[in-house]
């Protein structure tokens, strides 16, 4: 048990996913008030109950489907966080959608737009709206990558392109905000036991993969305030 995030507010997107859930619970154990953002309301409520049962600070639920979210939705999110919680110290982008692996020539326009929106556009616009809160608290933004994509591999489609773009976005943002108190990290956890990994590598043995809790601990270290 640690209290490195005591009295801090951390927003986790994709909070009901494997890494998102592990990260949210790790932050709560460290004393943070966690804002749980996901489209899956029943799973959000289950995660909420787990955090409260474990003795963590009462989390906040924020149901939002990134696939259909607009700029106004992200502006409303920022307004709600400032009004209800007064600050934002950490932002962790765990939300992701893989789609189907296959040749780029087979990706429909609709699928292409959805995958780029969920995996790249949504975190970029959300971060833009939340930057004032993060700057005010000298906060941290963490963008989660995927080691399987690398610098570009065949058949990873819109998801692969989006993750490559997300890394570029994080690097540019880190350069632009350097010296302004905010920390920006692009975090690649490596192969994890998760639904996305199972979809991409169905024949892989789960016991050969790291558990999400391991990666969540590394994210927690990135969110820790400077001593």
Task: Give the residue numbers annotated as catalytic, written as ranges.
Answer: 159
- 9-13 and 33-38 beta bridge pairing: parallel
Cα 127 to Cα 7, 130, 143, 169, 196: the distances in Å are 21, 5, 10, 11, 23
Do 157 and 101 touch, CB atoms closer than 8 A? yes
Give the integer Cα–Cα distance in Å for 200 and 209.
13
Q: Which two tokens stand for residue 182?
A: 């905010």
Q: Could you tell me the end-to-end alpha-carbon distance of the chain, in angstroms, rounded to an integer?
A: 18
Quick one: CA dihedral 195, 201, 207, 212, positive or negative? negative
What value does the CA radius of gyration of the chain take, rounded to a whole number of Å?
Answer: 17
**Nearest C-alpha neighbor of 24 from the set 197, 225, 213:** 213
Give the integer Cα–Cα distance in Å for 64 and 68.
9
């Amino acid at each position: 048990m640690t209290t490195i995030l005591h009295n801090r507010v951390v927003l986790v997107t994709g909070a009901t996913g494997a890494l998102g859930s592990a990260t949210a619970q790790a932050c709560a154990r460290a004393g943070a008030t966690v804002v749980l953002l996901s489209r899956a309301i029943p799973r959000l409520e289950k995660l909420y109950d787990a955090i409260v049962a474990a003795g963590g600070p009462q989390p906040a639920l924020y149901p939002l489907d990134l696939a259909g979210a607009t700029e106004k939705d992200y502006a409303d999110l920022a307004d709600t966080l400032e009004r209800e919680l007064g600050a934002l110290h950490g932002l962790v982008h765990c939300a992701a959608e893989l789609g189907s692996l296959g040749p780029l020539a087979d990706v429909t326009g609709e699928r292409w737009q959805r995958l780029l929106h969920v995996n790249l556009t949504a975190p970029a616009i959300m971060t833009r709206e939340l930057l004032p809160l993060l700057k005010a608290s000298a906060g941290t933004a963490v963008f989660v990558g995927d080691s399987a994509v690398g610098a570009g591999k065949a058949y990873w489609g819109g998801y692969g392109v989006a993750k490559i773009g997300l890394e570029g976005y994080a690097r540019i943002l880190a350069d632009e905000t350097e010296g302004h108190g905010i920390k920006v990290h692009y975090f690649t956890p490596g192969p994890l036991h998760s639904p996305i990994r199972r979809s991409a590598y169905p024949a892989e043995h789960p016991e050969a993969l790291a558990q999400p809790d391991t990666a969540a601990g590394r994210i927690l270290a990135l969110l820790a305030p400077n001593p």
